[in-house]
């Protein structure tokens, strides 16, 4: 029988598994602390548990790990990019960044992606599979072990579409925030979506308190559908309606991501249209000068990005340009995995 991946279990699920195995329920909390606070990688290290039970745990469960296949560390700002190997031979990426207020990690939620955004390297190689909650957690834990740093905040902005892997993502959030485990406040977590509208309503109704980032990238349906196929299914109007519902239900403001692409979406008229769309909403606009990928000719015009920002500000919008970290180890999202797998 295949062993159960113990890092994918919520506390109630682990309690249930232990009871099924004829053990006492309270053991689950002890084990949870070993797994998610002390982050041990072997049942033998769980020293307040009898050797007999440790041996038994080892026959029922496994503690899966990720392999650091490639590690790129920036000389300029200590950013570290990881290419992880998963147990089935697939790969995903994470990026660990240092800010004044603490360490933040950007993690992947799927191997590849189905969404097909034109400017995104993850989309080009297609979709392989969803990540498990255990694999998402391990992206954080392995980076902490490797770097010796403590992760303070998490962004789900790596490879994949988190709302297309909804169940595993929600379980990951539950495990990460469990007060018996790591207890991370989900106020320190952002989830980025290309706009799977029904799942935005579902996420809002769970009231988890996390920040929602929405990848908008255009201000008309025609232009958005051109670069983001998902827009043909759920257009801007229905997306913004779901966003308003998210703000009303959770009380959190939304962050709109806008990858600024030269000659595609960076004119002042487009900035005006964007501000008309978002006026009155409790939101923030994050401009990302597009990160060029080999397969496409997209680029960013720094001056146009600045003009775009000023135009939005003039119209009263709350806007920032994303800081570029790790510029010397630059690889657009998904590029590291793609280059490695093509070798």
| CB of residue 115 to ligand SAH, shortest distance in Å | 6
Nearer to ligand SAH, 7 or 194 (CB): 194
Residues 341, 8, 339: CA angle, nearest 5 degrees: 10
Q: Give the orientation angle of helix 197-206 with respect to helix 166-177, to 10 degrees.
A: 20
- Residues forming beta bridges with residue 68, ordered by sequence position: 84
| Dihedral (Cα; 329, 335, 336, 337), 10-degree rounding | 170
Q: Contact 64/5 with Cβ under 8 angstroms?
A: yes
Nearer to ligand SAH, 1 or 342 (CB): 342
| CB of residue 258 to ligand SAH, shortest distance in Å | 8
Q: Contact 314/136 with Cβ under 8 angstroms?
A: no
Nearer to ligand SAH, 79 or 291 (CB): 291
| CB of residue 324 to ligand SAH, shortest distance in Å | 10
Burial class of 117 by CB neighbour count within 10 A (0 to 12, 13 to 18, 19+):
buried
Q: Contact 214/177 with Cβ under 8 angstroms?
A: no
| CB of residue 270 to ligand SAH, shortest distance in Å | 16
What is the DSSP secondary structure assignment for residue 194, as one 8-state letter?
S
What is the DSSP secondary structure assignment for residue 150, as one 8-state letter?
P
What is the DSSP secondary structure assignment for residue 82, as one 8-state letter?
E
Q: Contact 212/193 with Cβ under 8 angstroms?
A: yes
Alpha helices in 73-132 (DSSP H): 121-124
Give yes or no: 333 in active site.
Answer: yes
Nearer to ligand SAH, 200 or 288 (CB): 288
Nearer to ligand SAH, 14 or 274 (CB): 274
Nearer to ligand SAH, 31 or 290 (CB): 290
| CB of residue 332 to ligand SAH, shortest distance in Å | 4
Give yes or no: 257 in active site.
Answer: no
| CB of residue 189 to ligand SAH, shortest distance in Å | 13
Q: Which candidate in 23, 93, 139, 257 is catalytic?
A: 93
Q: Which residues bind ligand SAH (CB under 6 A)?
A: 115, 117, 119-120, 157, 161, 192-194, 215, 257, 259, 288, 290-291, 293, 332-333
Token output for 233: 């299914």
Residue with tokens 């280059």: 339
Q: Which candidate in 113, 243, 283, 333 is catalytic?
A: 333
Any idea which residues carry the catalytic annotation?
93, 333
């Amino acid at each position: 029988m295949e062993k159960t991946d113990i890092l994918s279990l919520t506390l109630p699920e682990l309690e249930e598994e232990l009871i099924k195995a004829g053990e006492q329920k309270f053991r689950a909390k002890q084990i949870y602390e070993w797994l998610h606070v002390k982050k041990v990688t072997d049942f033998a290290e769980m020293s307040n548990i009898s050797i007999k039970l440790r041996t038994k745990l080892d026959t029922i469960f496994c503690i899966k790990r990720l392999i650091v296949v490639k590690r790129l560390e920036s000389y300029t700002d200590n950013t570290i990019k990881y290419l992880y190997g998963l147990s089935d031979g697939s790969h995903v990426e994470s990026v660990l960044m240092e800010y004044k207020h603490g360490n933040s990690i950007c993690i992947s939620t799927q191997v590849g992606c189905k969404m097909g955004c034109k400017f995104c390297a993850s989309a080009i190689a297609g979709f392989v599979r969803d990540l498990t909650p255990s694999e998402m957690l391990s992206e954080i834990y392995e980076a902490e072990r490797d770097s010796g740093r403590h992760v303070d905040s998490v962004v789900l902005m790596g490879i994949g579409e988190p709302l297309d892997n909804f169940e595993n993502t929600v379980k990951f959030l539950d495990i990460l925030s469990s007060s018996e485990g790591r207890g991370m406040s989900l106020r320190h977590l952002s989830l980025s979506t290309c706009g799977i509208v029904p799942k935005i309503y579902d996420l809002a109704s769970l009231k988890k308190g996390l920040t929602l980032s929405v990848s908008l990238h255009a201000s008309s349906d025609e232009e958005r559908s051109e670069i983001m196929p998902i827009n043909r299914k759920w257009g801007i109007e229905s997306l913004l309606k779901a966003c308003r519902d998210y703000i009303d239900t959770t009380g959190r403001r939304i962050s709109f991501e806008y990858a600024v692409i030269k000659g595609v979406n960076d004119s002042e008229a487009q900035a005006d249209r964007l501000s008309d769309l978002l006026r009155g909403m409790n939101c923030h606009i994050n401009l990302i000068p597009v990160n060029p990928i080999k397969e496409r000719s997209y680029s960013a015009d720094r001056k146009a990005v600045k003009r775009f920002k000023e135009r939005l500000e003039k119209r009263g919008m709350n806007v920032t340009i994303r800081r570029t970290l790790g510029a010397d180890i630059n690889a657009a999202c998904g590029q590291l995995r793609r280059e490695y797998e093509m070798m």
